[in-house]
Amino acid sequence: MEAMRRAARRHLVQSVLRRDFPPHPLSSFSAVAAPRNVPTAARFASGSDVTTAHWSRRCPSPPPAASAKTFPVGLAGALTFSLALVTMAEAKEQHSPERIPKDVVLYQYEACPFCNKVKAFLDYHDIRYKIVEVNPLSKKEIEWSDYKKVPILVVNGEQLINSSDIVRNLDARLHPEKVTDDEEAKWLRRVDDHLVHMLAPNIYRTTSEALESFDYIANNGNFTTTERLAVKYAGAAIMYVLSKKLKKKYGITDERASLYEAAETWIIALNGRYFLGGSRPNLSDLAVFGVLRPIRHLKSGKDMVENTNIGEWYQRMENIVGGSARIAV
């Protein structure tokens, strides 16, 4: 982190002294890190963990397991870039090794927003973890557990469930002295009670969008060859119909307008801050980012970034969360 700060300051000084900027602006500039081009889709309806009661117990031993922006080059551009480097370096938290969980296994669906919420926390805090992709039809990978939804996180043999409870539990391990403020708690609830309900009506809004979502689910989920074909087309058809019922259930009249409103409400809550947590993301930043990450490169996610002001915050989050902390097995 200190090396990044020094590099940023050195770049700033050299840029100011040389004044040798190119005459034309650079387009599609993304500070610090390029966005991960990972299209994802929403979870299966059975994957929700919103209504789950608080439950954490010692479990049986489980099996092993950017928005395109025009960046003006010049003194202001050099200053902005350099300050961005320093800010991102300082925003990434560092933890003492004894507080970081050592044996972590996530049972998940790749496209589930709740699972992505947990992964956003793990990635940001550089907690190394293994993944077990659960077959949503058979769920044989979680036969050992009495709990049959995802995510399930096993930490040193202890089973944790419900995505919000999982991240709170992990956060308490990393920050035992922390007291969650009202704003952070409010937005953690709002993600589960409101934002996540905007996803399915949007990603399954049309037959083509439903197929787009299930193409990713089929190709990245844990399916046999036969299941993969059936899931793509049957799943898309089922969720297209179900999305209309969900739209009615949650009082949504215009899918996109509701998604845009949810995004803008979040940006208003930031009130000019880089993150809701201030100079660093807090649990709410990671939760919002996590549940939006599955749709970012789908049509609905692209529309959201193009038609709201959420793009810059999302890019900052993508930069600071960084690459996956997943352990390849």
The whole-chain average pLDDT of the chain stands at: 81
φ/ψ of residue 132, rounded to 5: -115, 115
What is the count of structural domains for the chain?
Answer: 1
104 in a structural domain: yes
Name the β-bridge partners of 133. 108
Q: How large is the average pLDDT for residues 213-221?
A: 89
Tell me the pTM.
0.76
327 in a structural domain: no
Residues spanned by the domain of 124: 2-321
Report whether pLDDT(198) > 70.
yes
Q: How large is the average pLDDT for residues 168-176?
A: 95
Crossing angle of helices 311-321 and 255-270, in 10° steps, is 70
CB 97 within 8 A of CB 104: no
328 in a structural domain: no
CATH number of the structural domain spanning residue 26: 1.20.1050.10
- Each residue of 254-309: pLDDT tens digit? 999 999 999 999 999 999 999 999 999 999 999 999 999 999 999 999 999 999 99
User: In the prediction, which pLDDT does 150 show?
Assistant: 98
Residue owning tokens 């309806």: 45
204 in a structural domain: yes
Q: How many CB atoms lie within 10 A of CB 117?
A: 29
329 in a structural domain: no
In percent, the amount of the chain with pLDDT more than 90 equals: 63
326 in a structural domain: no
Report whether pLDDT(325) > 50.
yes
88 in a structural domain: yes
Report the catalytic residues.
Answer: 109, 112, 114-115
Distance CA 203, CA 190 (A): 20
127 in a structural domain: yes
- Each residue of 93-147: pLDDT tens digit? 778 788 899 999 999 999 999 999 999 999 999 999 999 999 999 999 999 999 9
